[in-house]
Amino acid sequence: MTYGRGLRGLSLATAATISLALGLVFFYAPLDADQGFVQKIFYIHVPLAIVSLCGFILGGLLAIGYLRTGERQWDVRSYVAIHMSLIFGIAGLITGSIWAKASWGHWWVWNEPTLVSFLIVLLLYATYQPLRFAIEDPERQSRYASVFAVTAGAFVPLNFIAVRLAQQYVHPRILTLSGGNLPGSMRLTFLVSLLGIALLFVTLWKYELAAKNTRAQIRALRRSLLGEESVRPLGRSAAPS
């Protein structure tokens, strides 16, 4: 399968959307009345967290494809999705800590359910790669990793619902199904930023899949060439290059 198809157009669309989002963040969205300029990190932090959580769920859905079909490509897609989600999640955690320090005066607040629940999800998925690569047999490795991905992927929305049902909130609830408390200009900026981060995730996901697919083809070609050399009759020299 050719994962590199359409990557050029996707990359250009990603770069254009992120550029537009940054322009809106710095030149269009108004300053927050309470937090001022530092609130603008919201347009990076929240999309990173949302895309990361959605990526974890995507990894679980792709793992279901492997468990149903046994085809290796589904396992690779799931692995890359989770790998990318961890990177985006760590970036979201870092930007969230910067925002917390500027707003609350602390890098971390343990009595805030949203922060702690997100950290729990990241710590859960931090065990994914050690678990996967601790198993040497490729088939068992893919099967166990897929079961983990499906189970952990189901935990993500349950964890989100549990936080939403909590009684006390320190984190401002500015995002709801009805648009929350964001004014129109902030909502537009946020949606464009979310689209840009989502496109970045898909672009990097396809790039890594294309790279892994290319490496696999090169290894297969090398094994094929080495196999031909091993069966070459003794005393027969190789043809000159």
Q: What is the pLDDT of residues 50-103, one digit of tens each?
A: 999 999 999 999 999 999 998 889 999 999 999 999 999 999 999 988 888 888
Distance of alpha carbon 91 from alpha carbon 81, whole angstroms: 15
More confident residue, 174 or 106: 106
Looking at the domain assignment, is residue 83 inside a domain? yes
More confident residue, 239 or 135: 135
Instruction: Give residue 59's domain range.
Output: 7-218
Looking at the domain assignment, is residue 38 inside a domain? yes
Looking at the domain assignment, is residue 241 inside a domain? no
Instruction: Yes or no: say if 153 and 57 are a contact pair by the CB < 8 Å rule.
Output: yes
Instruction: Report whether pLDDT(232) > 90.
Output: no
Q: What percent of the chain has pLDDT over 70?
A: 85
Q: What percent of the chain has pLDDT over 90?
A: 44
Residue 93: count other Cβ atoms within 10 Å of its Cβ.
Answer: 19
The per-residue pLDDT for 240 is 42
More confident residue, 218 or 34: 218
Distance of alpha carbon 112 from alpha carbon 163, whole angstroms: 10
Q: How confident is the model at residue 127 (pLDDT cuts 50, 70, 90)?
A: very high
In 3D, which of 74, 85, 97, 72 has the Cα closest to residue 125? 85
As to burial, measured by CB atoms within 10 angstroms (0-12 exposed, 13-18 middle, 19+ buried), residue 178 is: exposed
Distance of alpha carbon 63 from alpha carbon 147, whole angstroms: 7
The per-residue pLDDT for 63 is 95
Number of domains in the chain: 1
The per-residue pLDDT for 31 is 81
Token pair listed for 71: 């085809």
The per-residue pLDDT for 228 is 60
Distance of alpha carbon 82 from alpha carbon 122, whole angstroms: 10
Angle of helix 7-27 relative to helix 184-230, nearest 10 degrees, comes to 150
Looking at the domain assignment, is residue 230 inside a domain? no
Token pair listed for 238: 């190789």
Write out pLDDT tens, residues 153-211: 999 988 878 777 765 554 555 554 444 567 788 889 999 999 999 999 999 999 999 88
Lowest mean pLDDT among 34-38, 112-116, 143-147, 226-230: 226-230
More confident residue, 103 or 43: 43
Looking at the domain assignment, is residue 25 inside a domain? yes
Distance of alpha carbon 109 from alpha carbon 176, whole angstroms: 23
- How far CA 90 is from CA of 27, 125, 213, 214, 232, in Å, comes to 27, 11, 26, 28, 52
